[in-house]
Structures are given as structure tokens and as C-alpha cells.
Amino acid sequence: MPPAEATSAGPLPAYRARIAAGALNADPAQARAAERLQELWRRTRGYDPKPGAPQQEEGGLLSRFFRRKPVEEAADAPGGIYLVGEVGRGKSMLMDLFFATADVPRKQRLHFHQFMQNCHRRIHAWKKQHGDTADPIAPLADSIAAEAALLCFDEFQVHDIVDAMILGRLFEALFQRGTVVVATSNTAPDDLFKGKPGRDAFLPFIALIKQHVEVFFLDAQRDYRRERIRGLPTWHAPADGRAERALDAAFRELTGAAHGEPTRLSVLGRWLEVPQAARGVARFDFDELCGKPLGPADYLAIATHFHTLVIDGVPRLGPENFDRARRFITLIDALYEHRCKIVVSAEAAPDTLYERGENAAMFERTASRLNEMQSQDYLAMAHLT
């Protein structure tokens, strides 16, 4: 960790302190991004726009979530930054330094997907109490602005038409309330929701983002994330305590966290639960992935949303558990096609995981892919979303 004096002085001194300590390599593109974040840090020092207190109305929990009285637009909001670049370039690390040093009393750092899930839950609760014709956007913005004057979003991305329909009006309301937004994304604003039905209605949101936040392109040449996974063993057999500890260490190395947060993905109008997720890495037990009636759409959602999967406890496979084996084959096909990386604990090496019995020949291609997915050439490939 950077020394306290560096942390209190903003993200740029904290970034330089980590380089001096040997925790980071100097990178000119990262340094330029840190300078821009430092400027925003100066503008936000002590920033605390005061939204009006929520009205006390019947409804208990909902009255704390939403209020009807709008706030006046902040005339001196400091703006924000949309940090865009290829995967593994250090965007999340830089945003985390900004968030940790930001002198803003009310601040939140969220994965963008988690933020949108929270919004959907609140909208559902609001409509349940006030009816489907009631407009929840202003009260939703009120509640968010009351909780945080600074919102930091990791992995800003829009895949869902329902999210796209909400975002323009919600962010317009948040900016009116003086909310500062800092976001990281692999996608430039002009390319968000590109090629999707209904994108024309999404264009005003893109214009809004470009109007209120600075778009900064982080053009670092090195993919630090792929370098990290290329240095890790990715297949651990047997699936014992040693393997579990190795997967714990891999998750910590790839995410900077000992444990991820539960999240869920929207798949064909329903929710797919993800037990742990952090910084584009998800962790599942084998049974959570292949012991449930999941199908190609579920595995495609996982493959496009996460660049790496940590999978615990792949058993030996055979005719007696072929339903699970078949799902595992489908999962690996989806991960392979999207160049996802895997770190696995299993009862055997890929070539001996399904050795005999009906459908063993079908597994040969999967075993071959599992072996290839451990290669340095595969680990060097970019994730395909």
C-alpha cells in the first residue's frame, strides 16, 4: 500500500508511491491517466452537495429509498472521467486509487452491472407500491444522489435493452443533482450498445456522457492482466485442499480481493446467479455450473461477461453423470470460443477426466481444448465479448 501521506495527496502521488515501492511498473499512459484523475481529485476535494431530506411518508423502507421532492441542479458540479481502454491496462487500478483518495464524504464504488441490478430492484419496489404508471426515475435519482455524490463504476457496459432505456433519463437526473461519475470501460462511448436494436433511442445518453464527463483513452501497450494469468498454473489436480488454496491464491492475484461479491446476469428474461465476481473474474463450483439445468444461452452470457472463470471441484466424468458432462462440454465450448481463461481444480488431468464408457469419444475434443486453454499462446489471446 502507498504511504498515508501519498494517499492523502491524491491518486497521482499514490500511483508514484506504488511504483517506488516496486508494486507497479512505470507506464507513461497510466501516468497520464493518473494526472487527469489528480485534476478531478482537486476539483472534488470536500465536494458534498446537500440533497434535501427524504420526505417521511408511509411505506417504511421505500420512503428511505425514494422521495418525491426534487433537488435543484448543482451549478458547480466538478464533472467526471470516463476511462476507456483495452482490457488489462490498469483502468480499474487507477480508478481504485482515485476512489481511495477522494475527499468526498459520500462515495460509492460499484461494478456497473451491480449498479444496474440495484436500480432494477428499486424500480420494481417503487412500482409495486405506486403502480406501473408511476414514473420512478426522479425518485430513484434522488435516492442515489442522497447516498453518493461520487459514483465510481467499474466495467461500464450496456448489453441489455432495458438498461439502455433507463440510462439516459437516470443519468440526466443524476447530473442535474450534481453527481460526479468516474467510470472504466473497454468500450468508447460512441460504441456503446452499437449494432443493437433500439440504439437510436440510446444516442442521447451517449451525448449526455460526453457532455458531462471527460473521455480519456488509456492507450497503455501492456496487458497486465494477461501477464498475471500467464504466470499462474491453471489446472490443479486432484481437487484437494492444496488445489483449493491455489484457486484462492489465483482469484486474489487476478482481482486483488480474497472473495468476490455475488451478482447475477440477465439471460432471456430470467436471472443467472453468480456466486462470486470481481473485476471480470467469476468463481463457481462445478455443481453450480453443470449440476443445474443451464444451457448454451447461460454459458454464452458467462463467457461474454467474464474474462476469467475459476472453477472448483470438477469430478471424474462418465456415463453415470453424463448430463453434467454434457453441460461441461457446452460450457467449455462457449469459453473457448470467447477466449475466456480458466483456473480449475479437478479430480484428474483433462485427458483422463472422461476415460471410458459411452460418450467418452465425444469428450476428446473438450479435453483437447482444455489442454490448449492452459497454453501460453491461448493465455496471451484477448477476450472476445
**pLDDT over 50 (residue 71):** no
For each of the domains in the chain, give its residue range(s) and CATH number, in order of start. Answer: 4-217 (3.40.50.300), 224-379 (3.40.50)
63 band by pLDDT with thresholds 50, 70 and 90: very low
**pLDDT over 60 (residue 54):** no
Predicted local distance difference test score (pLDDT) of residue 225? 60
Predicted local distance difference test score (pLDDT) of residue 155? 82
**pLDDT over 70 (residue 381):** yes
**pLDDT over 70 (residue 322):** yes
d(CA 96, CA 34): 11
**Locate cell 446537500: which residue?**
50
Per residue in 83-106, pLDDT tens?
998 777 888 889 999 999 999 999
| DSSP element (H, E) containing 183 | strand 180-185
Predicted local distance difference test score (pLDDT) of residue 85? 87
Average pLDDT over residues 191-206: 86
Average pLDDT over residues 334-357: 92
Predicted local distance difference test score (pLDDT) of residue 312? 97
Between 46 and 53, residue with greater pLDDT: 46
Predicted local distance difference test score (pLDDT) of residue 117? 81
228 band by pLDDT with thresholds 50, 70 and 90: low
Residues whose CB falls within 8 Å of the CB of residue 281, separated by 6 or more in sequence, listed in order: 251, 254, 255, 260, 306, 307, 308, 309, 310
Instruction: Say if residues 89 and 222 touch (Cβ distance below 8 Å).
Output: yes
**pLDDT over 50 (residue 61):** no
Kindly report the average pLDDT of the chain as a whole number: 85
Omega before 204 within 30 of 0, i.e. cis: no
